[in-house]
Structure 1
Amino acid sequence: MERYDQLYRLYEEFDTETLRAYREFTDLFPPVDSRVALEHWQRASEELDERMEAVRAAFPVGETLADVATHATRDQAFTALDLLNRYERGVNVFVLDVDETLRSAGSTDNEIPRETLHLLTEFHEAGTPIIVCTGQTLENVKGFMIQGLGNELVHSGDLSVVYEAGTGVFTPGHGSETKQLLYEELAPEIRGVFDRVRGRVLPDAPEQLRRGCHLQGNEFNVTLKPNFETGSARAREVIDQALVYQLDLLGEAVAAELEVSDGDPTAWARAYYADADPEIRGVLETQDGLPATDIEAIPQSVASAFERIDVAYYEADAAEIGSLELNKVAGVEAALDVLGVEDPFALVMGDSKSDLRVMRWAEENDAGIAAAPEHASRDVLDHVVRTDELVFDRGKATEPLRTVWALNRLAELE
């Protein structure tokens, strides 16, 4: 109980809220050419040092506790200590989704907050590798990562990008392993299906659909995004239509690639994926597109191909066809290998089904803990609440990061 007693005393006897406010101000103070502003920063910095010194002098492990107090709230610090008692180790790598996790269109203007970027930089300086794990294209991710974290960090050799939900891995500074195109390892017939779908998805689309959405610039996945505000009624309408259209294209592409000429491939695809995913079934029902075909009527060769292909539906945001053999877990494992993290214990942060696969992988392999925003998908929230309860408010990704900062500092006392 000694560590708990020390934390109780720390947060009871010291004004840690003011301490954190000084720390945040001095850390995030923008570069300005103003003598008055710089003097204000200097006074705040001196006050921070004095308050931290008081904590250092009050405890045998005062340096650690002072650092914990400047980063974590009381609740975050005690959560960190609970996690340490449960897992007996700190986090040694991050696996971070971006959209609606690190940033949120609803509360951060779709920008990663400065405090989140700064804390990630602190973790980097402390030697913690970062894996950005996203469905976005590589070029999109590289752009805002360099802008937010800086070119030096991104090219440090300790940051990896798993992009397009696991079809590729980009780890600057690792020679021939810098860019890995995992989709090149797929069977030729599966790559052929994707080539067929990609070649037709926009040229063959009905005019209303072609005007209402666009093909995201992926290297492999086929992702249709709305030309309307994400989450709006018009975006929901066009993505629902896009999902049905993509299912039909997929069925036809699989039948053509496998040279299956008898039967209705569009009905096969609709039936198979409706049976596999209740959300897809719901969309098909609202679009009057649910077929009468039983999945038992699907030819075995076609069903086997469907078993290797994922159809993902993100309400009012995207309709996507990807490979089940290439998911975020495969990408994360490849990134860990390149980064040289042999015994990972990760903080996995995300909001969608693709992130849930990584969270479950971490749990099954005793390889980490999970955190999610309060607006994450129901399955993700169920998992996070069942495991470590690291649920944070929209746009507040810094909260679990602060908990992990405290966890790692306390783990150093072991």
Structure 2
Amino acid sequence: MERYDQLYSLYADFDTGTLRAYQDFVDLFPPVDSRVALGYWEQASRRLRGDKEEISAVFAEGETLAELAAHATREQAFAALDLYATYERGVNVLVLDVDETLRSAGQTDNEIPRETLHFLTEFHEAGVPIVICTGQTIENVKGFLIQGLGNELVHSGNVSVVYEAGTGVFTPGHGPDTKRLLYEDLDDAVTDVFDAVRSSILPDAPETIRRGCHLQGNEFNVTLKPNHETGSDEAAAVIDEATVYVLDLLAEAVPRADVEHTRAYYAAADPEIERVLDDEGASVDPAAVEVPDDVATVLDRIDVAYYEADAAEIASRELNKVAGVEAALDVLGVDDPFALVMGDSKSDLRVMEWIAETDAGIAAAPEHASGRVLDHVREADGLVFDAGAADDVLRTAFALNRLAEQARDQ
């Protein structure tokens, strides 16, 4: 029987919804000191074993199908089979953004849901390395990872953190390679600009920005964050103003640059920045401004990132998430990656495009991701998930890996 026929039969002939409910209950049951609660858990465990054994007895590949039914919906299982038919391999590394990807402030109280944490643990136990790829500082990331996944897992040697969108990589348990400061390899032409911007960004800021923003505690990147709630109208207003201010600071920091140069350069590169400049009464026609070659050479190496109602940032183009992920994979010893990349922003899109160009994985995004990210994901494999439901895609990847393992064993 062909695999597609087996899946049709599995989900048509068995109560897979109840099976998944038992599996989730057994996996996610919190440790409590209650004989009654423990009794319910033991009862669910027995029922789960029995239902899996029933499936295993019917199909030649029953053990694998039982695991698929217990962890994935019909749609997720068929999506996994489609992915296997396309790529003929499973995922051997996870590359995961955090904010608005693994966790969603609007849906999960800004915590990573237990279902998502559990599947990360499942992948870890199966020997799949995890790369957390974020714009946050290393201290912020370490804190919630240890709290959510546990100190033992985070320090297992199979977890790496690409922080500040690629300026550094932290991989506990790897001796001298535990922390790589990628920004140390930049030359003075770039670092001098960052030093100048960093030293003046708040002292020289207009009062509205000084009162409405704070500097994220980065090692290298310069990131203005709103003091207002992320996503609010107040945050949107101050970040729009801060974005124009950051562009003008760059004009002061880059030799021979002026305000029109930096505004025109980044307006031409990013339609969102062009829109902000228009809204703030600072518009410039990029086609009418000739940026000197020596100024453009420096700006080519500096990224200005605008995140609506969330952040205004300058970063090195040479130290993006792709560079960080490559460094993390090198430390982890992943020589032939086939990654599941999950993210929502422009910085994540670069990683998605990189794996697409190198045939090194698949991409997934939440439904509220930026338009360009959603376009890329939908044109690739269509792995779009609801806010706060990253486990939906992890279940699909779990099923993909079970199918790949089964094929290898035949």
TM-score normalised by length of structure 1 = 0.97
Aligned residues: 407
Task: State the distance in 2 between where 1:362 and 1:105 align.
Answer: 28
Task: Please say if 1:68 is aligned against 2:95.
Answer: no
Alignment-derived partner of residue 127 in structure 1 = 127
Asked if residue 180 in structure 1 is aligned to residue 173 in structure 2, the reply is no
Contact 1:374–1:381 under 8 Å retained in 2: yes
How many angstroms apart in 1 are the aligned matches of 2:119 and 2:252?
Answer: 48
- Counterpart AA for 1:159: V
Q: Note the C-alpha offset of 1:206.
A: 1.2
Q: Are 2:405 and 1:405 equivalent residues in the alignment?
A: no
Q: Which residue of 1 aligns with 2:374?
A: 381
For residues 389 and 300 of structure 1, what CA distance do their matches in structure 2 show? 41
Question: Offset at 1:295?
Answer: 6.3
Match of 1:249 in 2: 249
What's the counterpart of residue 277 of structure 2? 284
For residues 255-274 of structure 1, the C-alpha deviation after alignment (integer angstroms, 9 at most, x for no partner) is 2xxxx3xxx61221111111
Amino acid at match of 2:372: D
- Offset at residue 79 of structure 1 (A): 0.5
Q: Which amino acid aligns with 2:337?
A: P
SS of the equivalent of 2:319 reads coil
Residue 24 of structure 2 is aligned to residue 24 of structure 1: yes
Q: State the distance in 1 between where 2:258 and 2:352 align.
A: 34
Counterpart residue identity of residue 367, structure 2: E
User: 1:399 is aligned with what amino acid?
Assistant: D
| 1:300 Cα deviation from its structure 2 partner | 1.4
Equivalent residue of 2:200, what SS?
Answer: helix
Structure 1: stretches of 5+ with no match in the other structure: none
Q: In structure 2, what is the Cα distance between the partners aligned to 1:55 and 1:170?
A: 43
Q: Which runs of 4+ in 1 moved over 3 A?
A: 291-296
- Equivalent position to 2:385, from 382, 388, 392: 392
301, 308, 317: which one aligns with 1:308 = 301
CA distance in 2, matches of 1:385, 1:232: 28
- Segments of structure 2 that go 5 or more residues without pairing to the other structure are none
Identify the residue that residue 159 of structure 1 maps to in structure 2.
159
Residue number in structure 1 paired with 2:334 = 341
Kept in 1, the 8 Å contact 2:268–2:286? The answer is no
| Structure-2 residue corresponding to 1:98 | 98
**Corresponding residue for residue 115 of structure 2:** 115
Aligned counterparts of 1:371 and 1:274: Cα–Cα separation in 2: 28
Contact 2:346 2:372 in 1 (8 A): yes
Partner of 1:324: 317
Moved more, 132-141 or 202-211: 202-211
Give the distance between the partners of 1:218 and 1:198, measured in 2 at CA.
10
Alpha-carbon distance between aligned partners in 1 of 2:285 and 2:360, rounded to the nearest angstrom? 44
Does structure 1 retain, via aligned residues, the 8 Å contact 2:267–2:286? Answer: no
Q: What secondary structure is seen at the aligned counterpart in 2 of 1:101?
A: coil
Give the superposed CA RMSD.
Answer: 1.0
In the TM superposition, residue 291 of structure 1 has moved relative to its aligned partner by 3.4
Q: Distance in 2 between matches of 1:232 and 1:208?
A: 16
Distance 1:294 1:404 in 2: 45
What is the alpha-carbon distance in structure 2 between the residues aligned to residue 346 and residue 292 of structure 1? 40
Matched, 1:366 2:352: no
- Residue in 1 that maps onto 2:221: 221
Q: Letter of the 1:367 partner, please give it.
A: A
Contact 1:268 1:295 in 2 (8 A): no
Return the alpha-carbon distance in structure 1 between the equivalents of residues 131 and 369 of structure 2.
20
Q: CA deviation at 1:298?
A: 2.1
The residue that corresponds to 1:270 in the other structure is: 263
- Provide the rounded CA distance (Å) in 1 between the counterparts of 2:310 and 2:251: 23
> In structure 2, how many angstroms separate the alpha carbons of the residues matched to 1:112 and 1:268?
42
Q: What amino acid is the match of 1:8?
A: Y
Q: What percent identity do the matched residue pairs reach?
A: 71
